[in-house]
């Protein structure tokens, strides 16, 4: 099977990064940011550049793309917000009532809704920030 080389500016989000972004996109705490960012981006960006921001992660396990400035701003802001939320929630004792499901009390990682640990999501979110912070063309 032929394997093609990626463009030098290409960024790849693997299964874990996609999962972390999917969880962040689904979280109610981030919906105001997501809606506002996308609404503002639609005013100045091509539709195809904006669509990738949230829709792609509902069923994606791997994403390879050349990020534009709009992608970098969105993914860094969302990843940082999710990092802060995870760190805050996981440090709280007692667990807030809105998160105090029996599953969460027994296993804080159940907050994620996947088979990954919170530590894995935190590392993936840090990796997303790192990948998006690299200057365009130098990925």
pLDDT of 73-85, one tens digit each? 999 999 999 999 9
More confident residue, 120 or 100: 120
- pLDDT tens track for 17-56: 999 999 898 888 999 999 999 999 999 998 888 877 876 7
Query: Which of 71, 61, 76 shows the shortest CA–CA distance to 38?
Result: 71
65 φ/ψ angles, rounded to the nearest 5 degrees: -155, 165
Domain extents for the chain? Answer: 11-133
Cα distance between residue 56 and residue 59, in whole Å: 7
Q: Which residues contact 120 (CB under 8 A, 6 or more apart)?
A: 16
Please report the pLDDT score of residue 129 as a whole number.
95
The pLDDT of 126-139, averaged and rounded, is 79
Contact by Cβ (8 Å): 13, 52: no
pLDDT band, residue 89 (cuts 50/70/90)? confident
Examine the pLDDT at 117 and tell me if it is beyond 90. Answer: no
| Other Cβ atoms within 10 Å of 102 Cβ, number | 8
The first and second tokens of residue 111, run together, are 């907050």
The pLDDT of 74-98, averaged and rounded, is 82
Residue given tokens 């907050």 in the structure block: 111
Which range, 60-64, 90-94, 105-109, is most confident? 60-64
Cα distance between residue 1 and residue 30, in whole Å: 41
Contact by Cβ (8 Å): 80, 129: yes
- pLDDT tens track for 56-72: 777 778 888 888 899 99
Burial of 98 (0-12, 13-18, 19+ CB in 10 A): exposed
Please report the pLDDT score of residue 46 as a whole number.
87
Please report the pLDDT score of residue 95 as a whole number.
58
Say whether 14 sits in a helix, a strand or coil.
coil
Say whether 114 sits in a helix, a strand or coil.
coil
Please report the pLDDT score of residue 62 as a whole number.
85
Contact by Cβ (8 Å): 80, 130: no
């Amino acid at each position: 099977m032929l394997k093609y080389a990626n463009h030098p500016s290409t960024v790849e989000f693997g299964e874990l990064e996609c999962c972390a972004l999917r969880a962040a996109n689904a979280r109610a705490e981030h919906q105001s940011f997501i809606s506002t960012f996308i609404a503002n981006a639609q005013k100045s960006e091509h539709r195809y550049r904006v669509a990738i921001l949230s829709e792609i992660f509902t069923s994606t396990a791997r994403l390879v793309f050349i990020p534009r400035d709009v992608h970098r701003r969105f993914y860094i802001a969302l990843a940082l917000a999710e990092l802060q939320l995870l760190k805050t929630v996981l440090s709280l004792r007692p667990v807030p009532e809105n998160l105090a499901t029996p599953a969460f009390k027994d296993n804080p990682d159940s907050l994620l809704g996947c088979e990954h640990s919170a530590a894995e999501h935190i590392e993936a979110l840090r990796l997303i920030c790192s990948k998006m912070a690299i200057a365009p063309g130098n990925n």
